[in-house]
A and B are shown apart, each in its own frame.
Chain A
Amino acid sequence: MKSVVRTDKLTKRFGALTAVDGIDLDVHEGEVFGFLGPNGAGKTTTLRLLCALIAPSSGTAEIAGFRLGRDDPKIRAAVGILTEQPGLYERQSASENLVFYATLYGLQTPVAKSQAERYLRLMGLWDRRKEPVATFSRGMKQKMAIARAALHEPRILFLDEPTTGLDPDAAKTVREFIVALRGEGRTVFLCTHNLDEADRLCDRIAFFRHRVLRIAQPDELRAELYGRATEIRLMPRPRAEDLVRVQAVAGVREAHLENGSIIVASEDPLRTNPLLVKALVDAGAEVAFVTERKAHLEEIYLKIVEPIE
């Protein structure tokens, strides 16, 4: 798979603070790459480094085939960035904002206008193109900022908290847009605190706190950390002896009670689940549901990121 972002011991220090500590990343073309970490972990600094907005203290990086520090204007032309704040010219109209930025990206006026129109339509803002951005809601401004980041058809889009503060409808538009970008073969580098969103959108996820703690696919992490879990609901609710009975079944790695269900982790659920049901029914329990349980990304996040706190 072709790499579009590759870093080698990339480091950024601010005085005594090492915000980014020798990270090695390899982001593939056409993937949505999640970048998760707590506040102050250095995610935004990493984004700024990769967009050639700030210079690294040490280490090297290659973005879209260009060398950081040597080809910075080319890197900035090949990437788009959504910053934490929309940062739009409030007195100017939506259309004027986008055409201005398109011009700075070197687009000829007719192309700039057509790109502005394309993205305003895509974000559902075409009808308000002539209105000053100051009259827009937070969600509309965020959509404008995303449109600005994508205006010049960059190979890589760096999105910093793209759905923070958005209503469900606007957040859905943004998520659909990210999926569409992946469909076009673009790479999306997604910084987010919304773990559900990361789980739904990302092909791979990096857990980060000043350094990369782990990079993996969400399903791979689930399987590794929890095995394949099964959720069993009993009527009216599981008793203590039901749990003991389940734990005694061959192949069960771990079982516990959670929200009125028995959660069972086993190596081979296809073989173990029938045995579980049989053991419970034989003991007189009434089995209402047996479903596959997917661990939330939050659990995985807390397990990977929290321990070093």
Chain B
Amino acid sequence: MTAVLAVSPARPTLVRAVCVREWREALGNKLLVGMTLLPPVVILVAGIAAVAAAAVNPPSDRDVQALYAAAPAVAGLDPKEAVQGFIATYFLILFMLIPTVVPLTMAIYSVIGEKASRTLEPLLATPVGVGDLLFAKSLASTVPSVIVTWSAYAIYLATVISIGSRAAGSSRSSSSSRCSPFSR
């Protein structure tokens, strides 16, 4: 009789195997990919749209005064830039939801999906401890959330900077063209 080959796997090996399997499974599931990417995409699009809208529509004097009073940090800025900066900063708070929502979606699918597809029992029948398995599954859902959060943040930052600098450029050129007769 061939000797029993099984032993408890080393934790790094287990974590790697579980992560690779979970990611393969997740990438093959369009619904899960959609559900995972929906919150960051909505936050990203809403944030960029709000900043872009602020760049297009000049704020009223009353709004600007209220903003300067509420957020002294933007007091020295041009009114349009101040509004953009205020919106961009406050949308950053929503980005903090991404590391909560993304791993939650993945972890729910990971555990409930295993139960629904009857794969949980064979998994628990292996010599792997439940704690190790949960640790590996947590890591498998946390890593993509960190990547998604930072990617969304990078896209947001780049887009907002680009909108801001374009708006600032146009407002400087329009103000300089308006100011030129007076400067003479």
Contacts and interface: CB of A to CB of B under 8 A. Distances in A.
B25 A77 contact: no
A186 B2 CA distance: 9
Contacts, number: 104
A88 to B, nearest CB: 7
B: interface residue count bin: 20 to 34
A152 interface: yes
A77 B9 CA distance: 10
B3 A77 contact: no
Contacts of A86: 118
Contacts of A78: 4, 6
A106 B7 contact: yes
A155 interface: yes
Most chain B beta-carbon neighbours within 10 Å: one of A88, A106, A152: A106
A87 B122 contact: yes
B24 A96 contact: yes
Given A92-B25, A104-B9, A153 B3 contact: yes
Interface in B80-135: 117-129
Interface string B37-81: 000000000000000000000000000000000000000000000
A83 B119 CA distance: 10
B180 interface: no
A235 interface: no
Nearest to A186: B1
20 contacts: A73-B8, A73-B127, A74-B127, A77-B8, A87-B118, A87-B120, A89-B119, A90-B117, A91-B29, A101-B126, A103-B14, A103-B17, A104-B17, A106-B7, A106-B10, A115-B5, A148-B122, A153-B2, A153-B6, A184-B2
Interface of B: 1-10, 13-14, 17, 21, 24-25, 28-29, 117-129
